[in-house]
Amino acid sequence: MNDISQSPPQDISLVAMAAFMRRHIRIIGACVLLFGIAAGAASFLLTPRYRAEVLISPVNSSGLSSQLGGSLGGLAAIAGITLGGASKNSDEALEYLRSRQFTRGFIERHGLMPLLYAKKWDAAHGRWRGEAPTIAQGVDRFSHKVLQITQDHRTGIVTLAIIWRDRAVAAQWANTLVAEADAALRGRAIDQYKRSFEFLKQAATETSLVEVQDAVAKTMESELKDAMFARTRDAYAFKVLDPAVVRDPEDTDSPNRPLIVAVGCGFGLLIGLVLAARSQRRSRPRAG
């Protein structure tokens, strides 16, 4: 009754399974050991990848539109200008950091296509082997396999991570991405401040209402202060809380060798059970 091959599946107990494995410990143990060693050896053939992380806090800036009266704000909307729009809120800044446009610019500025498709790039002759990958494909690969951006919605802290085979390059890219995104948003903000300031000057000359003129004067003063802060403060859109550092050679993100060995041993266990069951079925007629 303890024979696992003679018992229906629903009647198999842990005791019977343990007895079955004990009888065939050589076959099962050999398979577990063999596949575990093979998986461990294979893990050393995989290219190690390193993870470099930057902790950043999006900077919230108050817009000018909240400081204007309804009539002046409506006039700005008619003119097609969002007053204070250069002071991007944290959500807009974060979406810009994730945007395909910014990622494409980063890849093009730093010539990353040969690195992203190293197997297709002939470094000796400076040309592609076969059909060249498109920049759109490069953006997809960088966004899905190299770059990771996550946000803790409770604290608002953002983690930007670069996963790459060169640990020094990974840290460099992570820090440069944040710096270039912040600089780009700063430049766009300063340009928008200039447009807003010119609009306010024109609005002041075209109205005779004292209340509107006073509101414009106060807003222009605030606009100049915001423009000065955008030009001078270290962090415009992203405040770096913890920059990326070069990881130790042993501190890899992948491959996860213990997990690979565990999976290999598990697969070996399954193969061993199958071989043991077949061996028991073949030996049954001779035993009879």
For 220-238, how does the pLDDT look when each residue is reduced to its tens digit (9 = 90+)?
656 556 666 666 677 788 9
Local structure of residue 143 (DSSP, 8 states): I
- Percent of the chain at pLDDT > 70 equals 70
Q: Cα–Cα distance between 282 and 222 in angstroms, integer? A: 89
CB 84 within 8 A of CB 206: no
Q: Cα–Cα distance between 56 and 117 in angstroms, integer? A: 29
Considering the domain boundaries, does residue 2 fall inside one? no
Do residues 83 and 199 share a domain?
yes
pLDDT higher than 80, residue 210: no
Local structure of residue 49 (DSSP, 8 states): B
List Cβ<8 Å contacts ≥24 apart for 209-215. 211/69, 212/69, 212/71, 212/72, 215/68, 215/69, 215/72
Do residues 124 and 26 share a domain?
no
Q: Domain span at residue 36?
A: 9-46+255-287
Q: Cα–Cα distance between 151 and 238 in angstroms, integer? A: 13
Sign of the Cα pseudo-torsion (248, 253, 258, 260, in order): negative
Tell me what pLDDT residue 87 has.
37
Do residues 171 and 236 share a domain?
yes
Considering the domain boundaries, does residue 231 fall inside one? yes
**Number of structural domains found in the chain:** 2
Considering the domain boundaries, does residue 248 fall inside one? no
Do residues 131 and 17 share a domain?
no
Tell me what pLDDT residue 22 has.
83
Do residues 55 and 97 share a domain?
yes
Tell me what pLDDT residue 207 has.
60
The percent of the chain in helix, strand and coil, each rounded to the nearest 5, is: 60, 10, 25
Tell me what pLDDT residue 224 has.
59
What value, to the nearest 5°, has the Cα angle with vertex 87 and ends 159 and 104? 55
CB 64 within 8 A of CB 219: yes
Do residues 155 and 188 share a domain?
yes
Do residues 97 and 73 share a domain?
yes
Do residues 260 and 174 share a domain?
no
Do residues 154 and 283 share a domain?
no
pLDDT higher than 90, residue 172: yes
Q: Cα–Cα distance between 18 and 228 in angstroms, integer? A: 76
Contacts of 139 (CB under 8 A, 6+ apart): 100, 103, 104, 107
CB atoms within 10 A of CB 92: 14
Tell me what pLDDT residue 175 has.
97
Q: Cα–Cα distance between 6 and 73 in angstroms, integer? A: 85
Considering the domain boundaries, does residue 1 fall inside one? no
Do residues 40 and 139 share a domain?
no
Does an H or E element contain 53, and which? strand 50-58
CB atoms within 10 A of CB 254: 16
Tell me what pLDDT residue 7 has.
46
Considering the domain boundaries, does residue 249 fall inside one? no
Side chain identity at 29, as an amino acid letter?
Answer: G
Considering the domain boundaries, does residue 3 fall inside one? no
Do residues 65 and 25 share a domain?
no
Contacts of 265 (CB under 8 A, 6+ apart): 32, 35, 36, 39
Considering the domain boundaries, does residue 66 fall inside one? yes
> Of 71-80, 231-240, 249-258, 268-277, which range is least confident?
71-80
Mean pLDDT (whole number) for 279-284: 76
Do residues 224 and 188 share a domain?
yes
Tell me what pLDDT residue 216 has.
57
Considering the domain boundaries, does residue 223 fall inside one? yes
